[in-house]
Every structure is written in C-alpha cells, then in structure tokens.
Amino acid sequence: MTNPIIKLENISFAYPGATEKILDSLSLEVYHGDRIGMMAPNGSGKTTLFHTIMGLCRPDSGTIEIFGSPVSTEQEFQAVRSRIGLMFQDADDQLFCPTVVDDVAFGPLNLGLSADEARDRAREVLATLGIADLENAITHRLSGGQKRLVALASVLAMEPSVLLLDEPTAGLDNGVKEKLVKILNHLDISYVVISHEFNFLTAITDRVFSMESGKILSDDEVRIHQHEHMHKLGNHPHKHV
C-alpha cells in the first residue's frame, strides 16, 4: 500500500477559552485516489479539521503528516499548502482579487510562474470548468454559483494533489450542483468533501464518513445509507442502532 497523502494522528484542538475540544484525538488518512465525503452537524469541527490540515489552526496535540513527511511549523506548512487545494465555505473569502482572471492567476503567480504562464494557466482552468467567458468579469458582480466555480478554478489552477471542499453546494441551485457533480466526477484528483447533502455526496464520493464529538466515525461504526422510511427529522443523517 502506498503512503497516505494526508495522515492525521490523535489530533486534539480546542479554541482558546473554550472548554470543549472541537477535535478530540481525531485520526484520518487520505490516500491517492480517495474520494471521501464527510457529513456531520454544524459545529462538529469539520471546518476546523480542514484548517488543521492546512496549518491555519495548530493542534494542541497529535501529529500531521503530509506527503509522507511531518509538518508542524509555518515554513513546513507553507511548503505543502499549495499542493492541497482548500475551497472555502464562503467564496467571497476566497476571491479577493478585483477580476476573475487576477484571482485564478494569484496562486500560479505565487508558485513562481511568469505573468504570461499564469494567465495561460488561468484561462485553461476556466475553460475546463466551462466558464472561460468570465475571464475579465468583476468578481463581486458574479452570481453565487459563478463565484463557487471561480473559487474552484482558483484552487485547481495551483494543480494540487488533493482537494478539500468545504460545503461546496451551500446556497447553490440544482443546475449549478449538477454541474459541480459533473466536474468533480471528471477530475482525476483525490478529494475530501464536507457537505450536508446526502445525494450530492453519494454522487461524487466512494466513502462517506461522519463526525461526532470531535472524532471521525469510520465505516464500521456508522454507515450513512439511504432507505425509505418515515420518522421525525428523517431528512437529517442519522444512526440506526
């Protein structure tokens, strides 16, 4: 078996001042080719988990290995960050440049590409996602769905080895969702997706995990599945014991 791309071991994290741990001895391994979905209630630490992988939150204990080597300092994280593409929950946080092409080229420019190379890379990615016409659009005038796709483009332009997608469908209409499903299924890349939407996750992932009280519940403990029956709150993911 090959080495995991991302390996978290016994990660614990509590926000300063908070008494409860948001991540509690959490372990996770992501291998090349994995397409993992993650479903969990709000506040269960999913976003914190992603931020820990990116080195934006430093865990209180536990170890992180990325591409086979341990990372703990800002320098070490800086070196691996560009190879992991984190797509933020709110596209407005991610798209901070005035125009679409500036934004998509921002990552490649930071990777050391020349302006022309970065522009070509940006155009290529926009074309792949079918939004080449947005190249010169002003970012803040885009619709919610367009912003989401541009955010994805800005992450893909860095040619990462793995994607972390935080609620990519939040607030999107079905048309854009379907488009996103199509795009993700055609990408040859590993990813971890957080979402509330069961149908979306099953359409794009091979495994679905759940998080509860700061831990990831593995397939043995919980398997989210669909079967038809009715009861109160039946539209939420739930465990049958």
Partner 1 sequence: MISEALAQGDSMIHRLDPCVRVVCAFGVSFALALSEQFGVLGLYLVFALVLVALASLGAGPVLKRLKPVLLFVLMIWVILPFTHEGEPLLRLGPLTMTRPGVELCLRITIKSVSILMVFIALLATMTVATLGQALHRLRVPDKLVFLLLMTYRYIAVIQEEYQRLLRAARFRGFVPGTNLHSYRTYAYLAGMLFVRASLRAQRVHNAMLCRGFNGTFRSLDSPLSNRLNPVFMTGVSALTLVLVVTELLWK
Contacts with partner 1, residue ranges (CB under 8 A): 51, 54, 56, 78, 81-82, 84-86, 88, 90, 92-99, 101-102, 105-107, 109-111, 115, 118-119, 138-141, 154-155, 158
Quote the least distance from Cβ 241 to partner 1, whole Å. 37
Nearer to partner 1, 101 or 180 (CB): 101
Nearer to partner 1, 54 or 181 (CB): 54
Quote the least distance from Cβ 47 to partner 1, whole Å. 10
* Helices 144-156 and 174-186, axial angle in degrees (round to 10): 10
Give every CB contact of residue 127 below 8 A, 6+ residues apart in sequence: none
Nearer to partner 1, 2 or 75 (CB): 75
Burial class, 136, CB count within 10 angstroms (exposed 0-12 / middle 13-18 / buried 19+): exposed
SS3 state at 68: coil
Q: Are 45 and 8 in contact (CB under 8 A)?
A: no
Q: Are 139 and 150 in contact (CB under 8 A)?
A: yes
Q: How far apart are the first and last CA of the chain?
A: 33
Nearer to partner 1, 137 or 181 (CB): 137
Quote the least distance from Cβ 101 to partner 1, whole Å. 7
Quote the least distance from Cβ 202 to partner 1, whole Å. 28
Q: Are 21 and 177 in contact (CB under 8 A)?
A: no
Nearer to partner 1, 161 or 202 (CB): 161
Quote the least distance from Cβ 53 to partner 1, whole Å. 10
